[in-house]
Amino acid sequence: MSQFGPEYVRAIAPYQAGKPISEVAREFGLDEANIVKLASNENPFGVPESSKQAMAAAAAELGRYPDANGFELKAALSKRYDVPADWITLGNGSNDILEIAAHAFVQKGEAVVYSQYSFAVYALATQGVGGRAIVVPAREFGHDLDAMAAAIDGDTRLVYIANPNNPTGTFIAASHIEAFLTKVPSNVVVVLDEAYNEYLAPEHQFESAQWVRKYPNLVVSRTFSKAYGLAGLRVGFAIAQPIVTDLMNRIRQPFNVNSLAQAAAIAALNDKAFLEQGAKNNAEGYLQLTAAFDELGLEYVPSYGNFVLVKVGNDDGAGARVNLALLQQGVIVRPVGAYGLPQWLRISIGLPGENATFIAALKKALG
C-alpha cells in the first residue's frame, strides 16, 4: 500500500474498460482484421460521414485552443432540446459530466445514492471525492426507485440514475421517474444519465430535457459516444437550470471538449439519417441475438439499449470462462464480474455479420 494520497483514493478499484482489438490480437496471436469487438456499446457504423467532413475542416485550426464555452455546439444543442444555451454544460464524454457533478455537489463524507448493477462510474465518481456510497439493491436488474427515494438520508447530496441502465439494459418509464423526482428533497441533485436515449423506440422516448424547467435539482446527462458514433472523441453534455449549470462550469476544465469533437458533434446532431440507420440496425440486431439466446436456452435481461446482458452459466466462473473461449476465437465481449454478475456477459449489438460471428463463437464456447 502506498503512503500517498487519501485512503478513499487508495480504495478505488480502477475502471475495467473493454479490451482494445490490438491487445486481443497480440495476446491471442490473431489477425486484427478478423476480430469482432462487441464490448463497449460503441456504434457499429463508426463515425458518421458528416462528422468526418466537419473534423477535416476543423483540423486546420488545431493550433488554437478550442472554444472554451463551446458556443456553436451549445447553440445547436439549445435548438435541438429547446433550452437556453446557459443551461448546458459540455463534458469530455458524459463520464466527465458524472465526475463534475460529484465534485460540484458532494464533499468528503457526504452521501451519494445509486443502484446495484448501475454504471460503474457512479461508484468511481463517488469514491473520487471521498463520498459515502449508498448502493440500493436492484429490483429485477433495474433501479428500485421507491427504495432509492427511501435511502436518501440527511447527508445525501447526489443521486445517479441510468435510464436505460448499463450493464443491464433495464428501462424506467417517464411516470416513475417523475414520481421519484417529486419525492427527492430539493437540496439533493439528481443526475439522470440517458446515454442510450437515442436507441429507445418512439413510444418510450420522453422529453426529459424539459423536466429541468420543473425540477431545479435535475441534471439530464447525454452523450455522443453511443448512438452518434463518436466514442473516441469524448463528447457529452448536461442540461440543468443555470444555478446548477454555473456550479458545474466552475469545476469543469476550461477546454474539456476539443475542437474536433465540438465540430463532429454539431454535424452528428444534425445527421438524422445516421441515427435512424443505427436505431434500425440495433432493433434488428437485438432480435438476432435474443433469438439465438432463446434457441440456446440462455436467460437474458430484456434490453432497451444497444447491448444485451446474457447468463452463460450457473457457476461463478461461467462469465470468465466463456469470455476466454470467445477471446480465443477473436470475439471481444464484456465480462461483468466486477458488477457482481459473474455468471453473465454483456454483448454490444453489432452489424448483422458481427452478431453472427459472435453467435457461432458462443455456440462453440458453450460446447
Residues that bind ligand PLP (CB under 6 A): 41, 93-95, 119, 162, 166, 193, 195, 223, 225, 231, 236
What is the nearest approach in angstroms of ligand PLP to the Cβ of residue 166?
3
What is the nearest approach in angstroms of ligand PLP to the Cβ of residue 60?
26
The residue number with the shortest CB distance to ligand PLP is 93
Which CB sits closer to ligand PLP, 120 or 325? 120
User: In this structure, what C-alpha cell is assigned to residue 213?
Assistant: 424547467
Task: For cell 477473436, name the residue.
Answer: 330
Compute the distance between CA of residue 269 and CA of residue 150 in angstroms, rounded to an integer: 38
CA nearest 264: which of 16, 66, 22? 66
Which CB sits closer to ligand PLP, 94 or 249? 94
What is the nearest approach in angstroms of ligand PLP to the Cβ of residue 163?
9
What is the nearest approach in angstroms of ligand PLP to the Cβ of residue 30?
26
CB 195 within 8 A of CB 223: yes
| E strands in the chain | 36-37, 88-91, 111-115, 132-136, 156-162, 189-193, 218-223, 236-239, 300-301, 307-311, 331-332, 334-335, 344-348
Q: Could you tell me how many residues make up the chain?
A: 367
Compute the distance between CA of residue 35 and CA of residue 327 in angstroms, rounded to an integer: 9
Q: What is the DSSP letter of 341?
A: -
What is the nearest approach in angstroms of ligand PLP to the Cβ of residue 15?
11
CA nearest 168: which of 288, 344, 16, 356? 344
The per-type count for the chain, helices as H runs and strands as E runs, is 14, 13
Which CB sits closer to ligand PLP, 45 or 356? 45
Which CB sits closer to ligand PLP, 95 or 357? 95
* Sign, CA torsion 255/256/258/262: negative
* Sign, CA torsion 366/341/170/299: positive
Which CB sits closer to ligand PLP, 110 or 194? 194
* C-alpha radius of gyration, the chain, whole number: 20
What is the nearest approach in angstroms of ligand PLP to the Cβ of residue 37?
15
What is the nearest approach in angstroms of ligand PLP to the Cβ of residue 41?
6
Which CB sits closer to ligand PLP, 162 or 220? 162
What is the nearest approach in angstroms of ligand PLP to the Cβ of residue 342?
20
Which CB sits closer to ligand PLP, 162 or 301? 162
Which CB sits closer to ligand PLP, 39 or 292? 39
User: In this structure, what C-alpha cell is assigned to residue 10?
Assistant: 487508495
What is the nearest approach in angstroms of ligand PLP to the Cβ of residue 236?
4
- φ and ψ of 189, to 5 deg: -85, 135
Which CB sits closer to ligand PLP, 24 or 121? 121
User: In this structure, what C-alpha cell is assigned to residue 49?
Assistant: 460521414
